[in-house]
Amino acid sequence: MDLSVPREHGPIGIRLIRQRDARVLQDHLMSNRAWLAPWEATSPDGPVSLDMRVGVRRLLQQYRDGGGVPFVMEYEGNVAGQLNVWGIARGSLASATIGYWVAKEFAGRDITPTSVALATDLCFTELRLHRMEICIRPENAASLRVVQKLGFRYEGLRRRYIHIDGDWRDHYAFALVREEVPHGVLARWVSGQAPRHAADVPEADRRG
């Protein structure tokens, strides 16, 4: 298994984050405050540092410890944002969660769904994980489109689940297990086989 090899599909790719990505990521984070803040993880213990040199160092340490796999998403070779596989549980759970963001100037080019597909396929095949999860605030229409496109399956409403933008926020949970995508998530999507309604949220869980 060599996770340092980039994975690509057309102009879109993911690769492991490097310490020298800190600068461009920091620039994106600073010039996209209004775009990112409503969806950004915060800490119940107080303000968190936005210093990406520290952030990247921490992510790479988690990677070495086996707790996560931090990627950058690229478009035509330019860093567009981050995709983070975190909370890797081994053993009989064999599961992980995916989080992501792109800078606003890169939005709407399928960068995130393509990257999520590449990362999920890599986690199922090379990391031998069994289940990948994505949790999204009900208000985040753009992110809900990502799971709809790929046919992630709706699993339920988690109340006050993650500390985002300064408070505990409800999230919808979506997941895929390996058996659902024997030919891979990317192949299923690009061949038009992703189930259209898997990510539908039942009426009872919808937010008005």
Ligand X SMILES: CC(C)(COP(=O)(O)OP(=O)(O)OC[C@H]1O[C@@H](n2cnc3c(N)ncnc32)[C@H](O)[C@@H]1OP(=O)(O)O)[C@@H](O)C(=O)NCCC(=O)NCCS
Judged by CB under 6 A, the stretch of 105-113, 117-125, 186-194, 200-208 that binds ligand X is: 105-113
Among residues 69 and 150, whose Cβ is nearest to ligand X?
150
A 10 A CB-CB count for 14 gives 26
Which of 145, 177, 187, 198 binds ligand X (CB under 6 A)? It is: 145
Least distance to ligand X, CB of residue 100, Å: 5
How many of the chain's residues bind ligand X (CB under 6 A)?
A: 19
Judged by CB under 6 A, the stretch of 44-52, 110-118, 151-159, 172-180 that binds ligand X is: 110-118
100 binds ligand X (CB under 6 A): yes
Residue 11-40 contact track with ligand X, rule CB under 6 A, x = bound = ------------------------xx--x-
82 binds ligand X (CB under 6 A): no
Least distance to ligand X, CB of residue 107, Å: 4
- Chain residue at closest Cβ approach to ligand X: 108
Strands 153-164 and 78-89: unpaired
Which among 33, 114, 41 has a CA at the least distance from the CA of 71?
A: 114
Least distance to ligand X, CB of residue 75, Å: 9
Among residues 56 and 136, whose Cβ is nearest to ligand X?
136
150 binds ligand X (CB under 6 A): no
Least distance to ligand X, CB of residue 37, Å: 9
83 binds ligand X (CB under 6 A): no
10 binds ligand X (CB under 6 A): no
Half-sphere exposure of 175 (CA within 13 A, CB side): 16
Dihedral sign for Cα atoms in the order 44, 113, 144, 86:
negative
Residues near ligand X, by CB under 6 A: 35-36, 39, 100-102, 107-113, 136, 140, 142-143, 145-146
